[in-house]
Chain A
Amino acid sequence: MPKLDREVVRHLERLARIELAADEVETITAQLGRIVSFVEKLQAVDVTGVEPTRSMSHEPLDRLRDDVVTPPLDRADVLAQAPDVSGDFFRVPRIIEKVDE
């Protein structure tokens, strides 16, 4: 297994959308390394031909509920929780950068 180093952690920051503070990077790199060596013990288990368990549900999950209208969440209650709204929309920082000609 490739080593879990700072470069891997930098990549994980992007995937997980969590920017670590400078002092956190070192700590988390060391701790993740130890946790990953701990879970390495699974490599010793003989799993030849064993099906993975992907769902624990005892219920058929492909069964749809009856097609009836039920009351949705109250729009004002939902929007009241948002950090920034504009009318009935959630507002976020600019997504498309302005292109200078």
Chain B
Amino acid sequence: MSLAALSIAQLRARLAAGEVTPVEVCDDALATIAARDGGIHAFLDVHAEAARRRAAELTKSGEFRRLPLGGIPVAIKDNICIQGTRTTCGSKILGEYRPPYTATVVERLRAAGAVVVGKTNLDEFAMGSSTENSAFGPTRNPWDLSRAPGGSSGGSAAAVASGMAAAALGSDTGGSIRQPASFCGVLGVKPTYGRVSRYGLVAFASSLDQIGPFTRTVEDAALVLNTVCGKDPRDATSANAPVPDFTTGLGAGLRGLKVGVPWAFLGADVAPAVRAAFDKLVDSVRREGAVVEEVALPHADYGLAAYYIVANAEASANLARFDGVRYGHRASEAKSLYDMYTHTRREGFGAEVKRRVFLGTYVLSAGYYDAYYHRALQVRTLIIRDFAAAFTRCDVVMLPTAPTPAFALGEKTDDPILMYLNDVFTIPVNLAGLPGLSLPAATSAEGLPIGVQLIGRAFDEATLLRAAAGVERVAEFPTGAVAPAR
């Protein structure tokens, strides 16, 4: 069996026993990338030389033995900066941008001994649900190469699903970690707002963005979260909350756990295969001794509409920095500063980014601000209250991650609203700032993974992960499975 199929926990055991070295693990990951990424296109850049150098250092010094992620190959979404290497955000406007600094999450992973193998593909500026909005071409779903991996962190999800990395980082503004995790059959965690430093993450919507891990098991997700969570003086929104060891108590099981299911929110738009998998899992969870209760999220239905106002208003402000002055692409022929701005941004941004910046500009413009933006922020308050009420009655909320399994490439690219509906179950979690995760629940008749979403109380990732570990044991999907090469 290739090392690529092993979880972080399994790799750690082999590394600790001296059965393999970080160099061997790194070479295996790079060989897997060479063999498989031609068909998948999860990576925009492979950092082979830097990875080999780091793995050799770790092997020589032996320090990987005492580091929590010593010698573990990880991939990084290409909206997270690594000094001196290309960061594209999947956009032409960043050109050959090489950031002069490194994101805190990458520094933390490196300090924990992880070996960064490369940067992964994404929808341009993380705007999308299929990774088809990348200026560098789409990523394909490792379980079925004719389908999308989800998005926007589709490259990270596909890299982990195909064994090209043991873990990856993504970012989640409205579901961009959880939905691709569901489509690719891997674990994807969006931590509580403020849990993980965003220093070095290229901002999309600052009140919603959060960095989190992709792994193939719950235990592995806990290991990565142990490393990346915590206060960072360079991100004023990062929280001072204590970070427990998330790996403790993962064997606690489901007995006595209160699981809330908002049945009324599930609605008619859920694909039959997803609904069947969800209902079956609810039964399994109940059989394991969890108490399943109905909860109400009466305003969750408005989440998608509120999100497209709030997120795009923030995006229109955040993306104002791409002006052709300090970095990235600049239109060459412009005679005036104004023309330089407008031509640079026309040439540099793709269609979805333009749509969203225009929408954000519209809802913030004079005359529309109160009707749209202010009202959306009020609806956000109501969604926060819905969750607060639900969590007086349960420990975790359970929902499907996405209404469908992976769809075909090109299937939804002509209809922005159809694409947005992918995120109907994940968006309320970002609006409320809560932690949520997707874990593989089942496999559809066509062999596609189907995820289930668990949502927890703010800063209670520990309970969320314990519940997830319990669900993982009863889920039909084979724990830790790597998509077979095809």
A contact residues vs B (CB 8 Å cutoff)? 1, 4, 8-9, 11-13, 15-21, 24, 27-28, 31-32, 34-36, 38-43, 45, 47, 50-59, 61, 65, 73-74, 77-78, 80-84, 90, 92-95, 97
Contacts and interface: CB of A to CB of B under 8 A. Distances in A.
A52 B346 CA distance: 34
Nearest to B345: A18
B241 A28 contact: no
B171 interface: no
B330 interface: yes
B334 to A, nearest CB: 6
Nearest to B367: A2
Contact of B358 (A28, A53, A94): A28
Contacts of B349: 18
B377 A58 contact: no
Contact of B328 (A38, A43, A83): A83
Interface in B240-275: 240-241
Contacts of B391: none
Interface in B310-346: 316, 320, 323-330, 334-343, 345-346
Given A18-B346, A82-B327, A42 B97 contact: no
B381 A32 contact: no
A64 B375 CA distance: 32
For the complex of A and B, 10 pairs with smallest distance between CB atoms: A52-B377, A77-B100, A83-B330, A19-B342, A47-B378, A81-B327, A39-B305, A17-B341, A18-B345, A50-B378
B416 interface: yes
Interface of B: 97-101, 193-194, 207-208, 233, 236-241, 299, 302, 305-306, 308-309, 316, 320, 323-330, 334-343, 345-346, 349, 351, 354-355, 357-359, 361-362, 365, 368, 371-372, 374-382, 384, 416-417, 433, 458-459
13 contacts: A16-B345, A16-B357, A28-B358, A31-B416, A34-B417, A35-B417, A38-B305, A42-B302, A50-B381, A56-B433, A77-B100, A82-B327, A94-B335
A35 B346 contact: no
A52 B381 contact: yes
A36 B326 CA distance: 33
Identify whether the interface residues of A are mostly helix, strand, loop, or mixed.
loop
Contact of A41 (B302, B359, B384): B302
Contact of A92 (B97, B99, B340, B358): B340
B336 A45 contact: no
A59 B240 contact: yes
Contacts of B340: 92-93
A45 B101 contact: no
A47 B358 CA distance: 26
A52 B237 contact: no
A36 B379 CA distance: 16
Contacts of A65: 233
A94 B337 contact: yes
Contacts of B240: 59
B365 A17 contact: no
Contacts of A38: 305, 308, 417
Contacts of A57: 193-194, 236-237
B265 to A, nearest CB: 15
Contacts of B342: 13, 17-19
Given A34-B417, A52-B378, A65-B233, A81 B326 contact: yes
Contacts of A53: 377-378, 380-381, 384
Contacts of B207: 55-56
B237 A90 contact: no
Contacts of B417: 34-35, 38
Contacts of A19: 339, 342-343, 345-346
A16 B237 contact: no
B98 A42 contact: no
Given A20-B346, A55-B207, A95-B337, A8 B362 contact: yes
A81 B97 contact: yes
A39 B5 CA distance: 44
A61 B235 CA distance: 10
A42 B381 CA distance: 13
Most A CB within 10 A of own CB, among B99, B240, B299, B327: B327
Contacts of A8: 362
Contact of B339 (A42, A55, A59, A93): A93
Contacts of A4: 362
B383 to A, nearest CB: 9
A81 B98 contact: yes
Contacts of A16: 316, 345, 357-358, 361
A92 B299 CA distance: 48
B321 to A, nearest CB: 11
Contacts of B459: 58
Most B CB within 10 A of own CB, among A34, A42, A84, A97: A42
A45 B236 CA distance: 33
A66 B302 CA distance: 42
A57 to B, nearest CB: 5
Contacts of A40: 305
Given A53-B377, A58-B239, A93-B334, 9 more contacts: A18-B358, A32-B358, A38-B417, A42-B302, A43-B375, A45-B382, A47-B379, A55-B207, A93-B336
